[in-house]
Amino acid sequence: MRRCLQKASRERLHDVADVRIEIDDRSGDGTSVASPRHDARPMKIAVLALISGAALSSVSWWLGTRESRATAAPVHLNLLLANQAASFGHLNGNRELAISPDGQKIVYVATSGGTRHLVLRPLGNADGRTIEGSDGATTAFFSPDSEWIAFDKGSELQKAAGSTS
């Protein structure tokens, strides 16, 4: 090792291969060159600690992001129609009943006095209201935000406010 550190370049070893040859020569003389023993235990402990930490972090993240998935209470719906008739099926491929995306209202086609019209009703109430201008409507559906009702009236598509007040 001293020859590697010589200040004069002609006295210094220039290549790692030269060092290896010197070490082999020393070993062949019966003198052994002691290599420092590399202890692998600290490396194994560090790797195990890293893996354990990653596993614990993953489990705690998973537990923290899990939501309780409580089921909603079932809603039972009875439609009692006074002086109205409703079939709630498909009339020539048209839907006669629609539930709002927010699950709070229904709209259906009803007939009273021989005229078809739409009735909007909140699910919590027994009474609904007739949607003005929906005479002759054959089908209805809600907008994705449940704020509007679109309906087919003859060859036209019209809309009405989806509020129940």
Residue 78: inside a domain:
no
- Domains contained in the chain, number: 2
Residue 48: inside a domain:
no
Residue 39: inside a domain:
no
Residue 84: inside a domain:
no
Residue 141: inside a domain:
yes
Q: Tell whether pTM > 0.85.
A: no
pLDDT digit string (tens) for 40-55?
Answer: 788 888 889 999 999 9
Q: Which domain holds residue 20?
A: 1-32
C-alpha angle 40-42-45 in degrees, rounded to nearest 5: 110
Residue 122: inside a domain:
yes
Work out the percent of the chain whose per-residue pLDDT is above 70. Answer: 74
Residue 83: inside a domain:
no
Half-sphere exposure of residue 12: CA atoms within 13 angstroms, side-chain side: 8
pLDDT digit string (tens) for 100-156?
Answer: 888 888 888 887 777 888 888 888 777 788 888 888 888 888 888 888 888 888 778
